[in-house]
């Protein structure tokens, strides 16, 4: 049996083994397990039950990892995408005043469209039409947005009537808990310690418990929280997706997930040495895996799922086959029994993780051609638009509307694809609807 599994996952061809794959899976899980606690906190802002979101995140992540590992045979884990969950809570629910039940239905509809577009290979065609510079700007912009949320939730940045925003109070203990966690995580990340984000969170919890800033739970282990508050809610509310505003929200879910998951998959397969002659073997299966997981996640009760960039940690220690992802999936199932930790994983504990993830995502800025103003201007508007408007979709809209105009002015209008012109029109309508609402 063991030999058959090794043969299926091509251990010999890839120069790997059970030991290497297990350690890689463990490393990836430790690097991304924070999502089990960050995602419920982010989606909890919208009014969703944190316990149900915790379970939905764990089960959907396990499903996605198994699918990616067994079907696509990639050492890439799948879980709830940071950034798009913030869009769900802060922009759609709090900003547009849309009930979370309807927003979840929007995720479900977007995920079905995602599957259809993947099946007909339209997904790749649309992604190819968007200039790489703008894709990089979107990734970095989401990173800045996530970091801004972390800074705000952690108390390091607060509203200020005179200057719009300002430094938070250093006389508040919870703010210092964020500072300590951030410094610890930066040190661990700089020292290249595997699972630095998770370890930083653990140490921060210990500091919080020892200082009384965090109260210990009555138990550390428990049964898996019920999915009842969120299970099937998306399907029951599909009928509420009946306005142009919600149609654009669905489109935004679709577009942002496009950029996030596809870009991550390309980068990780390159790191793992899977890319051959500029082609990615079994990429169709990988795209099908993440789109299917997005559907399952929405039905269970969580925001869009996607390939996780922290998979790079496992790949870095030797993960080369899909067995790495299978190991991660098993750990996610085991992790579902640790829901009591939700009471100790406060916003001050997760804030450093959000800031660090934002830092990692901002690295894509180096790939933008800043010397070409017609490209730099829309990229910059995307970059600063997301955190300053507190909306991922608004940031994308500013850049996508500006891009065709700047390219035409630079006498490069013919280089802009018809799809990009179409998206510019879509986002003009999108902003008009937002203002009207």
According to the per-residue pLDDT averaged within each range, which of 99-108, 250-259, 332-341 is highest? Answer: 99-108
pLDDT for residue 26: 84
Tokens of 68: 């990616």
The average pLDDT across 368-390 equals 93
Backbone angles phi, psi at 30, to 5 degrees: -60, -35
Q: How far apart are CA 74 and CA 281, in angstroms?
A: 10
Four-CA torsion 26, 30, 34, 40, nearest 10 degrees: 20
Inform me whether the pLDDT recorded for 209 exceeds 70: yes
Is residue 435 predicted with pLDDT exceeding 70? no
Taking residues 278-293, report their average pLDDT: 83
Percent of the chain clearing pLDDT 70 (strictly above): 95
Which residues are 83's β-sheet partners? none
Does 379 have pLDDT greater than 90?
Answer: yes
Kindly tell me if the per-residue pLDDT of 398 is higher than 60.
yes
Q: CA gyration radius for the chain?
A: 21
137-175 residue pLDDT tens: 887 887 888 788 889 888 899 888 888 888 888 888 889
Neighbouring residues of 17: CB distance < 8 A, sequence distance ≥ 6: 6, 11
**Domains of the chain, residue spans:** 2-436
* Structure confidence at residue 392 (pLDDT): 72
Query: What pLDDT, on the 0 to 100 scale, is given for residue 434?
Result: 58
* CA distance linking residue 74 with residue 55, whole number of Å: 24
The verdict on pTM exceeding 0.85 is no
Look at residue 323 in the predicted model and tell me its pLDDT.
95
**Residues in contact with 344: Cβ distance below 8 Å, sequence separation at least 6, in sequence order:** 205, 208, 209, 214, 215, 216, 217
Token digits of residue 123: 């997904």
The Cα-based distances of 347 to 40, 79, 190, 246, 344 in angstroms read 11, 20, 23, 29, 9
Average pLDDT over residues 79-103: 89
* DSSP for 378-405, written as a single string: HHHHHHHHHHHHT-HHHHHHHHHHHHHH
pLDDT at 186 over 60: yes
Say which residues have a Cβ less than 8 Å from residue 370's Cβ, sequence separation at least 6: 376, 379
**pLDDT above 70 for 433:** no
Separation of alpha carbons 170 and 175, rounded Å: 6
Query: Which 3 state secondary structure label does DSSP give 181?
Result: helix
Say what the pLDDT of residue 245 is: 78
pLDDT attached to residue 174: 85
Mean pLDDT of 347-353: 81
């Amino acid at each position: 049996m063991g030999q058959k599994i090794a043969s299926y996952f091509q251990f010999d061809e890839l120069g790997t083994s059970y030991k290497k794959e297990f350690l890689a899976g463990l490393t990836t899980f430790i690097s991304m397990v924070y999502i089990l606690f960050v995602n419920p906190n982010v989606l909890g802002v919208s009014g969703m039950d944190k316990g149900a979101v915790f379970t939905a995140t764990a089960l959907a992540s396990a499903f996605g990892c198994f699918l990616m590992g067994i079907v696509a045979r990639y050492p890439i884990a799948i879980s709830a995408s940071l950034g798009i969950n913030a869009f769900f809570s802060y922009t759609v629910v709090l900003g547009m005043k849309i009930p979370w039940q309807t927003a979840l239905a929007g995720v479900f509809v977007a995920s079905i469209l995602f599957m259809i577009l993947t099946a007909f290979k339209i997904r790749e065609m649309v992604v190819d039409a968007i200039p790489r510079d703008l894709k990089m700007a979107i990734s970095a912009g989401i990173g800045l947005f996530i970091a801004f949320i972390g800074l705000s939730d952690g108390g390091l940045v607060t509203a200020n009537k005179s200057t719009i925003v300002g430094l938070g109070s250093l006389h508040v203990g919870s703010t210092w808990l964020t500072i300590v966690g951030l410094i610890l995580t930066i040190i661990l990340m700089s020292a290249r310690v595997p699972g630095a984000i998770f370890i930083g969170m653990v140490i921060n919890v210990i500091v919080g418990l020892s200082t009384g800033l965090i109260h210990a739970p009555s138990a550390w282990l428990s049964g898996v929280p019920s999915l009842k508050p969120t299970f099937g809610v998306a399907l029951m509310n599909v009928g509420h997706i009946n306005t142009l505003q919600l149609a654009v929200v669905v489109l935004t879910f679709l577009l942002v997930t496009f950029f996030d998951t596809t870009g991550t998959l390309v980068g990780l397969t390159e790191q793992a040495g899977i890319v051959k002659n500029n082609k990615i073997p079994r990429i169709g299966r990988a795209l099908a895996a993440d789109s299917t997981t997005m559907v399952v996640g929405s039905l269970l009760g969580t925001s869009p799922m996607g390939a996780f960039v922290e998979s790079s940690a496992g790949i870095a220690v030797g993960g080369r086959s899909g067995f790495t992802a299978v190991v991660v999936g098993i750990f996610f199932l085991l992790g579902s029994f640790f829901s009591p930790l939700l009471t100790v994983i406060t916003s001050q504990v997760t804030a450093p993780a959000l800031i660090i993830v934002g830092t990692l995502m901002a690295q894509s800025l180096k790939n933008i051609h800043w010397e070409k103003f017609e490209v730099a201007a829309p990229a910059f508007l995307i970059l600063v638009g997301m955190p300053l408007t507190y909306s991922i979709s608004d940031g994308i809209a500013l850049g996508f509307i500006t891009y065709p105009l700047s390219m035409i002015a630079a006498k490069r209008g013919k280089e802009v694809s018809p799809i990009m012109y179409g998206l510019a029109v879509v986002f003009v309508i999108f902003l008009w609807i937002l203002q009207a609402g």
